[in-house]
Structures are given as structure tokens and as C-alpha cells.
Amino acid sequence: MPRRALPAAAVALVVALLAPGSALGAAGDLDPTFSGDGKQQLHDATKSLILASIELQPDGSVLAAGAQGPFPPVPGDEVDALVLGLNSAGEVDPAFGSGGRLVVPAGARRQIQLLDIAPGPDGRAIVVGNTVDNGAAAPDDDAESYVARVLADPDNCPLIPDSDQADLDGDGIGDVCDDDIDGDGLSNAVEAAIGSNLRATDSDGDGKADGADACPTLAGTTANGCPAAVVPSGGGGGGGQPTAVDRTPAKLGFTIASKLKRATFLKKGFSFKLASDEPVRVEAQLIGTLKGARVARAGDVTIAEKNLPLGGGNRPIAFKLGKKQKRLIGKTAKLTVRVTATDAAGNRTVASRAVRVK
């Protein structure tokens, strides 16, 4: 769209599209339901706001694209890209950009002028225009094309397409990028590992949320969310009645960052949370294959240990390093977290995760 001569006043003017008004409104009147009197003018004390193109959103809100800067610009002025957001009532939409404006700075001696805006996929809008670098020497001081894409609507997961914006737990993080979709305190990965439902806060329906349930997949009436223990029939004599014996080791769920910052690791140690599908006793070890370790023997060294009594839920395990252990950590270290979990019947589960300290 060719630029026309515009008044030099620092004003942007958007006139409402005609809409069916009251019985007294005639076609061609300004629409009084748009910003009170049919028009919306924005004033900026220091800059001109020039609009060139408009796009009506499905919900009646409006995006307008143009430029912000001195008017008329002369070579050497900075002119920035401008997208203005108005709600369906014609008022500046404070949820859009900063105070209703998205301004993309062009930088010193550069100019961006948006000339058109069009709807894009998944709540986006696409703007097109040109950019000029007046600071560049010829022949690079000519106009270049400029195309950008803007979030027209809030997006609860900007990097992954999710047009339905589903958010099961209502925490503002869309399901497709929420690592705890149901918000019960157990991450999706942990729930998948222990077999609980990652889309329900109380998988076994016993009234205890998965993150606080020592048996998240077994309905229970006891305080920790587990069924009353099966008491083996006593007596070593023959003829004892058969009892249900637990021969199934616990399923463990825990995630650990694969990389740790050395300085933070030395200062604060390192912690993670461990969940299981039944109560377990825990022995956790932090084992190092250390570079530059001043130890006589070669091989792995236990740097820290942590034991937890029989229990369940999503329990934190924190490793702290003593002075001597800190000295073992070189500039980089390869560590392994090894968790040995033993359930009430003595079945054992061992799981390991690698961690790099840099």
C-alpha cells in the first residue's frame, strides 16, 4: 500500500467499522459503541504514531500496524515498527504488548515501517513492511523487506502449536508444555514411571492427591493413602493358610537435570524428588567418576549419601558435600545418582541417572 501524505500531528486515528447501532444511528454515522464516540485517538508526547493497515480479529478486537517515530522521518531518524491492539469496544487492550502497543525497535539510524497486517495460524498475525539502515554505506542503505509474526492472542505454549489452548489444571501453562499437566505435584514423567494417571490428580480415587499419596495407584484408607497392610499369618508350623505375598518391587519416578553448574553444586549441593508407587526405604548415593580427583585408587567414589526410612509420597532427597568431597570435584565431573529402594516386603528396585557437573 503506497504511503500517502499524512498530517504531521502525533496522532493515530482508527475509525470504527460501521455496525448496526441504535434506532437513531444512520448509516455513515460514527459508531458510539466504539471507544465512546466512534473513534480512538492515541497521543504520544514525543513520537508520531502512523498506522497503515488494520486487521479485525475473530473476537472483534483490532490490530493495527504501522510505525512509531519522528514524522516525517528523515534519513538518520530511528523509526520503530508499531502494532497497536484495541479490544472489541475500541479501547486500548492493556493485555496486548506493553500498554496496548508492540514496538519493535529498529535501532539507531534505522527505520522499520509496517505496511500491512494479515491473520496467521494459531492466534498469530503476520506483518509486512520494509526496513532501511541509514547508517550503512551505499549500496546497503536501501530498503529491505521486513516480515514478522506476532502473537495476536495470549499463547499458553508459544513454542508448540496448540490451537485449543487446553490447560487441564488452569495454571496458565498449556497442557502441551506443562510438565505436570494435572498439577498434582508429580511430573508427567514421574507419573508415567510409577504408573499413575498424569491427567487425574487422584489416580486411585482414595481422596489423596497423587503427589501426597504413598500408594498413588492403590486406593487406601490409611493415613498415607495405602491399603491396610496384609499381615502374614503367624506361626512357623505347617499348614499355615496361604497369604498374599508381595513379590513386586516398587516403581520409582524421579527426574534429575542432566547438567549442573559447578559453582552452584559446590555451594548448595543438589536435590531432587523421589516418588514411588508404594512405600519404600531409600538409600541414595551420589557417585563420581572424577577428573583430577586426588585419590589414591582409581575408579568411582561415593561423594554423598542419603537414606530415607520406609515412607511414600513425593519425597525430597538432598545431597550436601563436605569439605573433603568438594576438593574431589575437578573442573568437570561425571556423576551418577543411584537410588536403591526397598519395599516393605524386601523387594528391591535400583535406578540410576547420570549428571554432569561443569
Residues near Ca ion (CB under 5 A) are 167, 169, 171, 173, 178, 180, 182, 184, 186, 196-197, 204, 206, 210, 213, 215, 220, 225
φ, ψ of residue 107 to 5 degrees: the values are 95, 160
In the bound state with Ca ion, the residue whose beta carbon lies nearer, of 93 and 206, is 206
Residue closer to Ca ion, measured from CB, 44 or 179? 179
* Closest to Ca ion by CB, 6 or 218: 218
- 116 vs 169, which CB is nearer to Ca ion? 169
Q: Between residues 150 and 252, which has the closer beta carbon with respect to Ca ion?
A: 252
Q: Which residues of 56-91 are buried (b: 16+ CB within 10 A; e: fewer)?
A: ebeeebbbbbbbbbbbebeeebbbbbbbbbbbeebe
Q: Give the CB-nearest residue to Ca ion.
A: 225
**Closest CA relative to residue 210, chosen from 184, 187, 190:** 184
Nearer to Ca ion, 61 or 196 (CB): 196
C-alpha cell at 237: 508350623
Count other Cβ atoms within 10 Å, centred on residue 236.
Answer: 5
Please state the closest distance from residue 250 (CB atom) to Ca ion, in A. 14
State in angstroms the smallest separation of the CB of 12 from Ca ion. 37
Q: Answer for the pair 213, 312: CB distance below 8 angstroms, yes or no.
A: yes
* Cβ at position 168, least distance to Ca ion in Å: 6
Q: Would you say 184 and 205 are in contact if contact means Cβ atoms under 8 Å apart?
A: no
Closer CB to Ca ion, residue 217 or residue 336? Answer: 217
Task: Check: CB of residue 229 under 8 Å from CB of residue 245.
Answer: no
**Assign residue 53 a region: left if phi > 0, alpha if psi is -120 to 50, beta otherwise?**
beta
Tell me how far, at minimum, the Cβ of 175 lies from Ca ion, in Å: 6
349 CB burial (10 A radius; 0-12, 13-18, 19+): middle
Cell numbers of 44, please? Answer: 504520544
The number of angstroms, rounded, from the C-alpha of 235 to the middle of its chain's C-alpha atoms is: 57
Within 13 Å, how many C-alpha atoms sit on residue 35's CB side? 19
Residue 228 C-beta: closest distance to Ca ion, Å: 12
| Shortest Å distance, C-beta 158 to Ca ion | 14
Which residues of the chain form beta strands (DSSP E)?
11-15, 39-43, 48-56, 62-69, 80-86, 101-104, 110-119, 124-133, 143-151, 252-253, 259-260, 270-276, 280-290, 301-311, 315-319, 333-343, 348-357
- Nearest approach, Cβ of 317 to Ca ion (angstroms)? 19
The alpha carbon of 349 is separated from its chain's Cα centroid by a whole number of angstroms, namely: 32
Nearer to Ca ion, 9 or 189 (CB): 189
Nearer to Ca ion, 111 or 276 (CB): 276
Q: Which residues contact 44 (CB under 8 A, 6 or more apart)?
A: 10, 68
CA neighbor of 267 nearest in space, from 325, 328, 331, 321:
321
Minimal distance in Å, beta carbon 230 to Ca ion?
15
CB 286 → Ca ion: shortest distance, Å? 26
Q: Report the nearest approach of Ca ion to the CB of residue 209 (Å).
A: 8
Which residue lies nearer to Ca ion by CB, 170 or 236? 170
